[in-house]
Amino acid sequence: MKKQDTIFGIHAVEALLNNSPERVIELWLLQGRDDERLMPLINIASSFGTTLQRAARKVLDDKAGSSQHQGIVARVKAVKPLIESDLDALLDKTEVPFLLILDGVTDPHNLGACLRNADAAGVHAVIVPKDNSVGLTSTVSKVACGAAETIPLFQVTNLARTMRHLQDKGVWIVGTAGEAESNVYQADLIGPLAIAMGAEDKGLRRLSREVCDSLVSIPMVGSVSSLNVSVATGVCLFEAVRQRLG
């Protein structure tokens, strides 16, 4: 397991400093930038004794592996991935679990956007398989705009087995499938719930689909046949939010 990670972008670094400042080893800042967006982060980091370095844009581009760092890059201690046993602890202390399962999402931009949706919808945890799925990367954290620091991401060895375990714990699993006869607006999304989304090119894998308690579709009335997985996730999560707040 790697010992260090790189986090970049104002929202991602701000969330890290607010939630886990002890993880930050060093901050690299764009030379000459001291505007009102960066100064609060600099002040927080300084209060914890974090090392601050100034560097040219090319140096930050290289450290972030991207030009989208917004003038701030953090070298941080890596976190231990959450696994199945950690999930039980979360379920035991959560009265009405609201979970998101992502099966085979390999694009870090999609995972980051899904985490952002999950945070906004009040999801307690996101569950992904260890294989054929992206984990937490610097790009995921940047796209998630801080949600990667607040939403627990569980990487499980056998997704179908974990789904059955959730059912044993009283969690109802609703999966998405384009050919499903009922749609998400007809589904009962109140109570202990996990919404299972598949990769946009293949959907849920066969075993994952078979484990689901019910399958729903998203009504499509235009010429396109499918939605980006992060958009589809947002549609389903916020229909659940609507019902749960109603």
Shared domain for 115 and 214, answered yes or no, is: yes
Shared domain for 89 and 73, answered yes or no, is: no
**Confidence at residue 209, expressed as pLDDT on a 0 to 100 scale:** 96
Please state at what angle helix 84-92 crosses helix 159-168, rounded to 10 degrees: 20
10-residue averages of pLDDT along the chain (246 residues) = 81 89 90 81 88 90 84 86 88 95 94 96 96 85 84 95 97 94 96 94 92 96 86 97 94
> Which CATH number covers residue 240?
3.40.1280.10
Shared domain for 93 and 194, answered yes or no, is: yes
> How many Å separate Cα 178 from the centre of its chain?
23
From the CB of residue 86, how many other CB atoms can be counted at a distance below 10 Å? 14
**Confidence at residue 1, expressed as pLDDT on a 0 to 100 scale:** 54
- How many domains are there within the chain? 2
Q: How confident is the model over 16-54, as pLDDT tens digits?
A: 898 888 889 999 998 877 778 888 888 888 888 888 999
